Copies of this chain bind each other. A is one copy, B any other.
């Protein structure tokens, strides 16, 4: 990217020393870390209803028991992560916990699950955020894919510039969302209790397509489990809290759990009493808000807050994915390029990979949250299970303070999330979960291959067994000569200034007639460098050059060899199409030989 554009887009570079971290109060931390978890309130209830509606009104009546079950699970998971925070005050993501306690392959399974999950968080949150917007502004509905991709592009640019994770930025939309949703639930239930809630609309309830079988209910449950995504965020960010970090983090986690549970149950209750069914073009939350508040300012406030927290949730992946990728790359199980920080101290490569993958998902799934959901949650629950399992192992091994409580809570959490994972995989396998289950082992295999490559490289390049440097006694230089012009003269001049001991010029001749002419010009311009004219009856270049190199190597096995080529540099790109690029070709092909190639550039400005 030309520098000017890059500067405009991502801003001035920042110094490495400028990276710092601010410590967060509990209130600020709740805003920073809970957007992913809380935002799932915007779609979790709808996803349950979306499955159950296939069994008509009878199906929908199961929504509340399912939501209650999920809330119970939520409590277990929150308590489990409370234990993780206790044991990993320095931040314990599933990858770290699994690596420390379970070994490489389980840690890679957890790592890849989380990477996939981050990508899906962006795709799902952006799709749901766009759905919140298009519910309020239906005319945008046909353009939802374009809007979604545009949103991803904006978030990406913002992150490439490096958003400072200041609490202010996060606090406004997060507390707007909490405030407006709590208001919705309280006012809605009050109206219902008073009997002033408007009667349910005719609704778009279609006839039941299937019976409310156990399998359907399992699918509904699995769909609703997306409500749990993002709970782990606080345990990854313990170091950002004010002292005492672990205690504050745990308190914040429990606060978040309470809010999340209340909102999820509240929205599900309102959907039930209002007989809301999922509809194309309008979300369940939008339908509820319209019923409770009418089509006025309060309604639009809720839609705006919902859209904003969902975009914030997508944004948290932009911190999490590149950071995790960088940790994996540092452990040599992903390409090293992901370790690097860009101009603005952010992991630019990771950000770009995340943006590309999530955009592809939004486009591929036409920005439809319902279609993305079956892929989601699988990764999350693999992460949950691995993390809890690792914790149980850790408690049992270390027997540190309070290990019994830890084993019980993490054991129950691990067992519960493992069972739910099985349910999710079983019930959503054909709807897309298979894809995630296929990618994870593939990813693990790729990571192991990458690790092997870097390890081999390290061994091969190690200087540990090296004793001293034998310097090549002789140095042979070949000056590759095409036509003879000013560029050639520059190369001759350059070659002479190297003061080489053994140098020969080589011209490869396609036809005998021009050989004489070259010889004559060389006598004038060649500065006494001996010229070999090699005939090439098959009009080949590199092969003949290689032949001469091999001959030198055979006669002087320990000599260093250098080939000098001239390379034209054109000021305009289209002029590249007008040249044979012999120099570039020779450079490329000789890379695979034990030969150094010098390119003497000739500017054609």
Contact = CB atoms under 8 A, between A and B. Distances in A.
Interface of A: 13-17, 335-337, 340-343, 450, 453-454, 456-457, 460-463, 466, 469-475, 484-487, 489, 492-494, 496-501, 510-511, 521, 525, 527, 537-540, 560, 562, 564, 567-569, 575, 577-580, 587, 590-604
14 contacts: A13-B539, A13-B540, A15-B538, A342-B539, A450-B578, A453-B575, A463-B484, A463-B521, A472-B496, A474-B497, A475-B498, A497-B560, A569-B591, A592-B603
A579 B485 CA distance: 38
Contact of A597 (B457, B569, B592, B598): B598
Nearest to A461: B485
A604 B487 CA distance: 34
Nearest to A583: B591
A525 to B, nearest CB: 7
Nearest to A581: B337
Given A493-B472, A497-B471, A600-B596, A567 B591 contact: yes
A457 to B, nearest CB: 6
A469 B489 contact: yes
A337 B568 CA distance: 15
Contact of A494 (B560, B577, B602): B560
Nearest to A568: B457
Contacts of A469: 489, 492-493, 496, 525, 527
A467 to B, nearest CB: 11
Q: Which 10 A-B pairs have the closest CB atoms?
A: A461-B485, A472-B497, A13-B538, A15-B537, A497-B560, A461-B486, A475-B497, A598-B598, A335-B578, A596-B600
A460 to B, nearest CB: 6
Contacts of A462: 485-486
A570 to B, nearest CB: 8
A577 B594 CA distance: 23
Given A13-B538, A601-B592, A496 B510 contact: no
Contacts of A460: 486, 604
A463 B525 contact: yes
B604 A599 contact: no
Contacts of A595: 601
B594 A511 contact: no
B497 A499 contact: no
Contact of A337 (B580, B590, B600): B580
B471 A493 contact: yes
A463 B489 contact: yes
A538 B343 contact: yes
A527 B470 CA distance: 10
A342 B13 CA distance: 49
Given A472-B496, A594-B603, 8 more contacts: A340-B580, A454-B578, A466-B489, A469-B489, A469-B492, A469-B525, A471-B527, A564-B596
A540 B599 CA distance: 23
B601 A591 contact: yes
Contacts of A341: 539
B580 A591 contact: no
Given A469-B493, A493-B469, A497-B472, A336 B592 contact: no
Given A540-B13, A591-B569, A596 B598 contact: yes
Contacts of A497: 471-475, 560
Contacts of A527: 469, 471
Contacts of A602: 461
Given A341-B539, A539-B340, A486 B466 contact: yes
Given A567-B591, A569-B592, A470 B493 contact: yes
Task: With a 10 A CB-CB cut-off, give which of A462, A493, A521 has the most chain B CB atoms.
Answer: A493
A487 B591 CA distance: 14
Contacts of A493: 469-472, 560
A22 to B, nearest CB: 21
A519 to B, nearest CB: 15
Nearest to A12: B538
Contacts of A498: 475, 498, 500, 560, 562
A532 to B, nearest CB: 19
Nearest to A345: B539
A336 B579 contact: yes
Contacts of A591: 567, 569, 599, 601
Contacts of A472: 493-494, 496-497
